[in-house]
A and B are shown apart, each in its own frame.
Chain A
Amino acid sequence: DTAVSQTPKYLVTQMGNDKSIKCEQNLGHDTMYWYKQDSKKFLKIMFSYNNKELIINETVPNRFSPKSPDKAHLNLHINSLELGDSAVYFCASSRTHYEQYFGPGTRLTVT
C-alpha cells in the first residue's frame, strides 16, 4: 500500500565510497524529485525529473547523479562521498504541477 518508498532507510559508509539510493512510487505520477534535509532540518530541492527531462539544481555537486529507468523509479547515485553529504535524502513524486508526496527518507551517514 506504500505510495512512495525508498531503500535503504539507513546508510552508513566511509568517505570516498560510492553509494546509491533507490526510490519507487506506485501513484502513477509523472514527476519525481530528490530533496536533501540537512542537520538543521532545512529541506532543499536537488533534482526534479519528468520523463526524460531532468532539472539539476545549480548547487548540487556533479558527484550526485539521478537516474530514472522508468516513470515509477528514480535512483540517486553519489560518487566519492564526503562528510558534508551526511543528511536525510527524501524522494517525492507528483502529477505535474500538483501536490508532492514524500517517501520515508534515507538517512545517510558518512564517516
Chain B
Amino acid sequence: QKEVEQNSGPLSVPEGAIASLNCTYSDRVSQSFFWYRQYSGKSPELIMSIYSNGDKEDGRFTAQLNKASQYVSLLIRDSQPSDSATYLCAVNRDRGSTLGRLYFGRGTQLTVWP
C-alpha cells in the first residue's frame, strides 16, 4: 500500500471555479500534513500546512484534515490560470523524532483554463 496517495489527474477546471485536490495516507501516526505546488522545471513551493483536524484557510486556499479518515484535501477558490501546476501532498510520519522526513504523493496535475 502506498504511503500517500493522490489522484494523478489531470484535473481541469475553468477560471473562477473551485479546484478540489484529495490525498489519503496510510500511517495513522502521521502528525503533519503539507501541500506543495510545483511548476514544471521548478522546485516544490509550500502553500499550506495543517496539523489538526478541521479546516485551515489562507487566502484562496483551504486545507482540510480528517485524521480519523486519514484524509487531507486542498481547495482552491477562484482558480486562476497561474494556479496550473502539479500539487503535491506530503505527510510527516516521524512522531517523536527530530527528523521530519516528508513522504510525498505522486502529485495531481491541475490545469485552469481561461
Contacts and interface: CB of A to CB of B under 8 A. Distances in A.
B100 A42 contact: no
Interface string A29-42: 00101010000111
What bracket does the count of chain A residues touching chain B fall in?
20 to 34
Contact of B98 (A33, A96, A99): A96
Given A33-B102, A53-B98, 18 more contacts: A31-B98, A41-B86, A41-B106, A42-B104, A42-B106, A43-B88, A48-B99, A48-B100, A48-B101, A49-B99, A55-B99, A90-B43, A96-B98, A97-B98, A98-B100, A103-B43, A104-B42, A105-B43
B62 interface: no
Interface of A: 31, 33, 35, 40-45, 48-50, 53, 55, 57, 90, 94, 96-105
B100 A90 contact: no
A45 B97 CA distance: 16
A15 B82 CA distance: 39
Interface stretch (B10-18, B44-52, B53-61, B72-80): B44-52
9 nearest A-B pairs in the assembled complex, by CB-CB distance? A48-B99, A102-B43, A43-B104, A45-B101, A50-B98, A55-B99, A102-B44, A96-B98, A48-B101
| A contact patch SS | strand
Contacts of B43: 90, 102-105
Contacts of A45: 101-103
Contacts of B106: 40-42
